[in-house]
Amino acid sequence: MRLRTWLVGTGLVAGLMYFLDADSGRRRRAQARDRVASLTHRLDRARGWAERSATYYRASMKGMLHETRARLRDEPVTDHVLVERVRSALGRAVRHPKAIVILADRGMITVSGQVLAEEVAALLVAVRAVRGVKGVQDRLEVHASPGHIPALQ
């Protein structure tokens, strides 16, 4: 026990001498303070990143769970809800979703309007992938380039 007490006391005295040294003590204290501040800042940033990541993944898992439950139930969808779902999917599939007209009739979707040729395939895939869509009627006006078509500008 005495050896341990002596070692602790010696360590404290050495630490005090190191930090309270007349020549270099001020610099050493400043360096120690800066290192602690830097470590604290890095830990705060890491904690913030971890919290944001956890929130993102928690929300993603919750969304997947709800989507899976909804697909398993296969409940009938009103035409209005179906049109809104398709419209939402179009926003990710084409550059000019407002140029497309969506009509629904008991799960059958009719898409019409003006679209660029390069976007037709993605549009139809996106519409067919929407939960509740039973079929798609394509009445699109396909254009190779936007040209002078106001809806595609």
pLDDT at 144: 85
What order do you get walking across the sheet with 100-105 strand by strand?
100-105, 108-116, 135-143
CA distances from 61 to 55, 56, 110, 126, 132 (A): 10, 9, 32, 22, 22
Q: What average pLDDT values come out for the chain (153 residues) when binned by 10 residues?
A: 83 79 83 91 93 95 91 85 93 90 94 92 94 93 84 78
User: Given this model, what pLDDT does residue 4 score?
Assistant: 87
As a whole number of angstroms, the distance between CA 68 and CA 70 comes to: 5
Q: Could you give the C-alpha distances from 43 to 29, 39, 49, 50, in angstroms and in order?
A: 21, 6, 10, 10
pTM above 0.85, yes or no: no
Domain segments of the chain as ranges? 2-69, 79-152
* C-alpha distances out from residue 74 to 27, 87, 137, 146, Å: 70, 20, 22, 39
Give pLDDT, residue 54: 94
* C-alpha radius of gyration, the chain, whole number: 32
Give 79-152's CATH code, choosing from 3.30.1360.200, 3.20.20.70, 3.30.1340.30, 3.30.70.380.
Answer: 3.30.1340.30
